[in-house]
Chain A
Amino acid sequence: MQIMNRIIGITVLAVFLAVPALAGEISLSVAASLRESVTELSDLFQKRTPGVSFKKNFGASGALAKQIESGAPVDLFFAANNEWVEYLIQKRLADEKSAGVFAYNQLVVAGKPGLKVASMQDLVKLNRIAIGSPKSVPAGEYAMTAFKKSGIDKQIEKKLVLAKDVRECLLYADRGEVDASFVYKTDALLLSKHAKILYVVPENLHDRVTYPMVLTVAGSKKPEAVAFIKFLASAEAKAVLTKHGFEVH
């Protein structure tokens, strides 16, 4: 029996090792709102480090965590809240020791210019508000917490349009399909003339928007991935983040 298991184990390992992985390819799963900043940083690292290339996947943190759980070959995971990183650590898919904070952000309400939103209560007067689906998008969870804490959650219920990630929220606001949407300050900087930041959500109404980054168990075995995550904690990287509008402390 033991011998059988061993033979099977070795065969499986051999198969996996035999799966062609481009030498020096780092696979990233990144929360949607980090798209531009991570792209810039990975480009930077790639130029400096010969033989290294990146495969990037952007989306909602919950959806990405689910993909990793289902076996997606990812080396680094960037989430928009702690929940999903802790989830993977619990499932023993992520290396706890490598976890660190990548950046911080602020939750804002963006929408049709001319709308007056001076407080959370003012949101109740609007028709439609887009948030990321709380089941898989941290921005949506932050928004829901803010609604609950300001006591408007029941009133706002029927006005909510769920989006699959923060970028889709952005799109809704931009196209004017909703009156306002909950996005991050950094996303709002990308907005075209159709939508404007109407209100910055007070930070006491939700947990601080934190972007943890972590190596997966597979990633922790790749020297390139380890080197990249170290680079991301450097002062140079932090400067890039600040440039994009993120907070680094």
Chain B
Amino acid sequence: MQFAPADIQAILLSAKVGVVATLVALPLGFLAAWLLAFGRFRGKLLLELLFNLPLTLPPVVVGYLLLLLLGSQGLLGRALDTLGITIIFTWKAAVIASVVVGFPLLVRSIRLAMEGIDLQLVQAARSLGAGPLDIILTVILPLSRRGIMAGSSLFFARSLGEFGATIIIAGNMPGVTQTLPLAIYDYASSPRGEGTALLLCVVSVVLSLAVLMLHETILQHKKGG
């Protein structure tokens, strides 16, 4: 029982999609958390609901909605088509699926950290001459660092396991969009594939454990430090 080249590709693709998705989601997640933690504006509740929605929706529903938006018949899809850009059934779609599904986890973690920042520190910084952007970079960002790291690792772990939305907008394309969960699904549907399916499951579990351990270490460090 060993790995076929397609299997190694699946593992590497999962890692690649995970890393890219995390990098894409971080600035967006930071902005969203900042708006929710410090913003005071009408419609904040609506925004909060929107950001949290993917957490409670079944991933396939998220996938289907994304397909309606980005598919060749979709609102954005058609516009992108004229520019020659296709998103669906490419690894970029897998990234988008991960970003949308994992977003609430990231925002939640960062927001929690931001809300723990003493408001007086922000007030002091302002009285000392720091403008809003300055404060974000020199006060809020450093003090929410642990929340950002914890959120990122959780997000990455979720991305590694993303299936429902991915299979709908990115499809199951070996070597192109077939991430680890999709590969396992493929093998698991076949009576002859059980051995490899199990092997890939082990790989998946090991990866998840590693990331979760990292997440816990970050949180523990926060308490101890």
| Residues in chain A within 8 A of chain B (CB atoms) | 60, 62-63, 65-66, 69, 84, 87, 127-128, 130, 133, 135-136, 157-164, 172, 175-178
Contact = CB atoms under 8 A, between A and B. Distances in A.
Contact of A133 (B67, B71, B172): B172
A162 B183 CA distance: 11
Contacts of A160: 173-174
B147 interface: no
B96 to A, nearest CB: 15
A141 to B, nearest CB: 11
A62 B174 CA distance: 19
Interface of B: 67, 71-73, 86, 88-89, 171-176, 178, 186-187, 189-193
Given A177-B71, A177-B88, A177-B89, A163 B190 contact: no
Interface of B is mostly: loop
Contact of A128 (B89, B187, B190, B192): B89
Contacts of B73: 175-176
A162 B175 contact: no
Contacts of A130: 171
Nearest to B171: A161
B89 A161 contact: yes
A163 B172 contact: yes
A172 B71 CA distance: 11
B190 A63 contact: yes
B192 A135 contact: yes
Nearest to B172: A162
Contacts, number: 65
30 contacts: A62-B189, A66-B189, A66-B190, A66-B191, A69-B191, A84-B191, A130-B171, A133-B190, A135-B190, A136-B186, A136-B189, A136-B190, A157-B175, A158-B176, A159-B173, A160-B173, A160-B174, A161-B89, A161-B171, A161-B172, A162-B171, A162-B173, A162-B174, A162-B178, A163-B172, A164-B189, A175-B71, A176-B73, A177-B72, A177-B88
A135 B189 contact: yes
The 3 closest A-B pairs by CB, nearest first: A135-B190, A162-B172, A136-B189
Contact of B189 (A69, A133, A172): A133
A69 B172 CA distance: 25
A34 to B, nearest CB: 18
Nearest to A68: B191
Contact of B187 (A65, A135, A157, A161): A135
Pick from B72, B86, B190 the residue with the most CB of A within 10 Å.
B190
A128 B172 CA distance: 12
Contacts of B186: 133, 135-136, 162
A135 B172 contact: no
B60 to A, nearest CB: 13
A88 to B, nearest CB: 9
Contacts of A63: 189-190
B172 A62 contact: no
A67 to B, nearest CB: 9
Contacts of B176: 158
Nearest to A87: B191
Given A175-B71, A176-B73, A177-B67, 10 more contacts: A60-B189, A63-B190, A66-B189, A87-B191, A135-B186, A135-B189, A158-B173, A161-B173, A162-B172, A175-B72
Contacts of A157: 174-175
A231 to B, nearest CB: 29
A216 B192 CA distance: 19
